[in-house]
Structures are given as C-alpha cells and as structure tokens.
Chain A
C-alpha cells in the first residue's frame, strides 16, 4: 500500500514555478531517492510532504488527505541538511524531544532513547551537546531523533552532503542497513547520483520542477529515457545520427558520410530519415589500436586526446574521425597516450536511443 501519495503537486513562488504537477507514490518500506541538480525542486517536494510548503494538488499519508494537517500533526521524521539539532539540548534530550512532547512517561522515554542510542551507535555520547560531536555523530543523532517518534515516513534532505567522502560512503551503507532493519518508508533528496544509485529502491530524477524518469536504479542507469537523465546519471557519450535504414531488428544510423552504426531493437521503418540521439556508456566502448581488422569490422577511427588516470581504470578521451568526442573507460592492460591512433566500437545493444527532451 502506498504510504505517501502525491498527486499533481505544483508549487509556485511568484512567477517561478518550482514544482509542476508532480505525482509520486512511496510504497511501504520503500527507499526512494529524489535526484536532481540544485534548484530542480527536490527539496520543495520534500517540504510539501512535511507540510512546510504551500502547494496545489493532494498529499496523502497512509491514505489520509493532508490538506489541513499542519506539520506537527503529520507524524513525519525529517533529517535536515544542517541536521537542525537543538544546540542547547544534549544528545539524549534531542532524541527524546518528540517523545516528551507526546507526554510519554519519563521511564519509557529513557528506554526508547536508550534503544535508539544503541541502534545508532551513540552510546556514551548521551550527555554531550551537539557542538561537541563530529559530523557523522550529529547526523546519527538527527536520524535517531527523527526515528524516535515512530514516524510513518522518514524524510532525508541531503543528509550526507556535509560529510567527507570516506565517511559519506560508510554512512551510505549504515543508512541503508538501518532503513531496512527499521523498515521505514524513506524519501531521500540528493544531488549525488552515486548516492542515489547506491541507496535507493527507486530513483526519481527531477529537473526544472518535473519528474524526468523514475524506476529502480539499474533501470534508470541502463535505460535512461532522455538526454537529461542520460547526462545526469553516470557518464554518457551522446551521439547524434541520421536513420538511414533498418536491418532486421536494428536501426542503421549514419553518424558521418562514411560511418554508420547499428542500434539494437528499434527497427521501425517509419524512423528512416529522422534525426536521433543515442547514448553509449564509457564502460561499453570497445577501444583498440587502429588496425585493418578494426576498420573492416566497422570500428570508427580516432585519436586519443588525453587520458585521466583513476586508479582502478583510466578514462580515455578520443576525438573520432567523424567529429565527435567520446570518453571510454579502459583497463590498465594497455597504456594509452595522447596522439595514439585508436579504433572505437560498440555492440548494437549497448547503443541506447534517447527520447527528445
């Protein structure tokens, strides 16, 4: 059952339309990442769910319409980007804040706070003030405080952005494990695509106040529907071509006077004559030294522009003879140098047709 149901949510600040009829559902226990560049409306969407933003359209939480329900009656847990811990209260007081507001007996508050302290590995820190904690600890306190009131939904607003890379990766794993253990429906707002891919059951990609694509991470990564999603998630080589023919199931596409490529599974004869964009991920590009064999197999010649060493692999930027510049992910089996003559190819099934934006 849908725990959160958003229908046709629009938000405008003056003439600025921040959200444009966004609809979204979060199933019970689902971890949804709302992903997009800054200013895409993702934080506003989170504030709509929490009740902090005026909007049109309907919000339902647990099936109940929320039009006239103020934030403090929605039973929602929020972790803010700056954590928003109460600076004049200790860790234990922060976590127990919502429980005391609910007039829970003192003993039960202590027990519950204790439980959360161990769940989030905060034991021994209960009498510290937020200013005496590290970034990771503050974040765990913020999560514990949000979870204390047994909310129906947990909303996280870029909670990892203030942490350094190593800690962030640790917290990603921790957050995911915690979410699964508690089984809480979670909406996570982020601009970091790796974070979204690593954490979410479902990714919602937003741009300019609209949802551009939603689906499981693997689906969004492997089959981006449009140029925006392709560019925003992962590295992409987007190539323009003209459809010149159909070869059984495949679309034949010319990318210059001399070179044609195949795109698998789009063999619709009506497409002949139209312009298309297609995508090839850098890790799907087959890179080899220029040779007669390669030319025969239809690979496109090019020369290496520059090479970026990335530890586990290298990224090779290649200027193709057809004019495009592509990026290929290559292993260290061969050392590529700027100026090397190369041949670039890919399997028809690795070329993805993109919808127009």
Chain B
C-alpha cells in the first residue's frame, strides 16, 4: 500500500499499484496456484491419515504403539532444514525431481503431525461409552464411529484441517529445497526480496496472510458456536 518504489516505514501514502504488479508477474500466479493445491492436498491427506492413526492409537493396543506415535510426531521435533535436506537427498537419488510430486509428499509429512496431534487428543477425550451405546442400539462399530464419534470430534477435525492448511500454505524452510521446476509463494517471495526491493513483496506478504487470517477467524467462530450451542 506504499506508492513509493522503496520499502520505507512509515509509508508515504496508499496505493494498490504493487498489488496490480503482482498480477502482471506470471511467476507469482503460478506459485500461488501450486501453494493452494499443496495446501488442499496435504490438508485432506493429513486429516484422513491423522484420523486413521488416531483411531489406531486411541482404540487399540498393539506392540510398538509408542513408537508409531513418536514417528508420527517426529517432523514436529526435527528442524525443517533437516527435513528439507533429507527430502532433497532422498528424492533426487530416487530420480524424483518434479517439484509438484516432491513438495506434495513433503507437505503431507510436515502437516501430518499437526493434524494427528489434534485428532489424537480429540479422540482420546471422546467418551468410549457413546460408541458402545450406539452399538448396543444396533450400530456396527464403523457406523457407531461415523454417526457418533465423528460428529463429536468435529471441532477437532476442523482445527486439524486449519493447522494443516496454514502449516502447508506458509511453509518456506523445508519447501525451498525442492523448488526444482516450480516454486511456492513463500519461496517465490523470498527469491523476489533477494533480487528486488520494490514493495511488491509487501503486497504479496499481505496476500499470503489473508487466507490464514480468514481461516483462523472462521475457526474461532466455529469453535465458539460449538461450545455455546450444544455440548
């Protein structure tokens, strides 16, 4: 929103000039498209896998359960630079040098622990007797889970999805290692700032922030309603 060509603070006035500039640059549009696709794919994958893993972890006991939980959550602990490097080395040695595929895998791995963490605690908090009540009334175990437990943990699922989406959408550190032929918005932004200094970057930053802020608002609203209408 700065009419000048340099990034200065405080701004010298207001203008949409740099937003228009964004649209003219093909690189940004393409990066935005890829970033959104990655965010959607990794959200869906991590919520589904997180739900399945959550069921396995909270409902069954099996050998190596703690190990599974640790492995599932490990991308949270390992620095993203390390994750990105590991992916770069592994994927390139396997000959996978397509950004779309490698980034999709990377983003699923990075977002899964966030989603799984939330879903596991939602499932652990949901009462087992509700499912058993449904079963005693004639619902098969799968039916009982879908018609009783899933609606119960819906706020947890929504939270997991938003965490996953935001994490993928904003990821820079690990993603920068895999931008062979295509790039994501945060990486593109970084590249741009390194070479140019006009406020297009600021315009882009605000656009990256926008969906994230919207999602968090929607989420707050949703959770608030859930808590006050019916428990």
Contact = CB atoms under 8 A, between A and B. Distances in A.
Interface of A: 50, 52, 70-78, 80-82, 84-88, 97-98, 101-102, 129, 131, 145-146, 148-149
A111 B108 CA distance: 50
Contacts of A88: 151-152, 230
Contact of A84 (B129, B140, B143): B129
Interface residues of B, number: 20
Nearest to B151: A88
Contacts of B63: none
B132 A80 contact: yes
Given A72-B139, A86-B133, A87-B231, 13 more contacts: A50-B136, A72-B135, A72-B136, A72-B138, A72-B140, A72-B141, A74-B136, A75-B138, A76-B136, A80-B129, A87-B152, A97-B134, A101-B143
Contacts of B138: 72-73, 75, 98, 101-102, 149
A149 B132 contact: no
B83 interface: no
Contacts of A129: 230-231
Interface string B130-165: 101111111111011000100110000000000000
Interface of B: 127, 129-130, 132-141, 143-144, 148, 151-152, 230-231
A120 to B, nearest CB: 16
A78 B127 contact: no
A71 B136 contact: yes
Contacts of A85: 133
B231 A84 contact: no
Contacts of A71: 132, 135-136
Most buried by B among A71, A78, A145: A71
B62 to A, nearest CB: 15
A80 B139 contact: no
Contacts of B144: 72
A133 B151 CA distance: 20
A146 B141 CA distance: 18
B209 to A, nearest CB: 34
A20 to B, nearest CB: 23
Nearest to A88: B151
B132 A131 contact: no
Contact of A78 (B132, B143, B230): B132
A84 B152 contact: no
B137 A82 contact: no
A82 B135 contact: no
Given A52-B132, A78-B132, A131-B230, A84 B127 contact: yes
- Which 5 A-B residue pairings sit nearest by Cβ, starting from the closest? A98-B137, A84-B133, A84-B129, A101-B138, A78-B136
Contacts of A74: 136
A84 B132 CA distance: 9
B137 A149 contact: yes
A85 B140 CA distance: 17
Contacts of A149: 137-138
A233 B140 CA distance: 40
19 contacts: A50-B132, A52-B132, A70-B135, A72-B138, A74-B136, A78-B136, A80-B129, A82-B129, A84-B132, A86-B130, A86-B134, A87-B231, A88-B152, A88-B230, A97-B134, A98-B137, A145-B133, A145-B137, A146-B136
Most buried by A among B133, B134, B141, B143: B133
Contacts of A131: 230-231
Contact of B130 (A81, A84, A98): A84
Contacts of A72: 135-141, 144
Nearest to B144: A72
Nearest to B136: A78
A86 B148 contact: yes
B133 A78 contact: yes
Nearest to A86: B148
A86 B131 CA distance: 9
Contacts of B133: 78, 80, 84-86, 145
A91 to B, nearest CB: 12
Given A82-B129, A88-B230, A97 B152 contact: no
A173 to B, nearest CB: 25
Most buried by A among B127, B136, B143, B151: B136
Contacts of B143: 101
B37 to A, nearest CB: 33
B16 to A, nearest CB: 45
A93 to B, nearest CB: 11
Contacts of B148: 86
A101 B132 contact: no
B130 to A, nearest CB: 5
A101 B129 contact: no
Nearest to A81: B129
A209 to B, nearest CB: 22
A270 to B, nearest CB: 52
Contacts of A84: 127, 129-130, 132-133
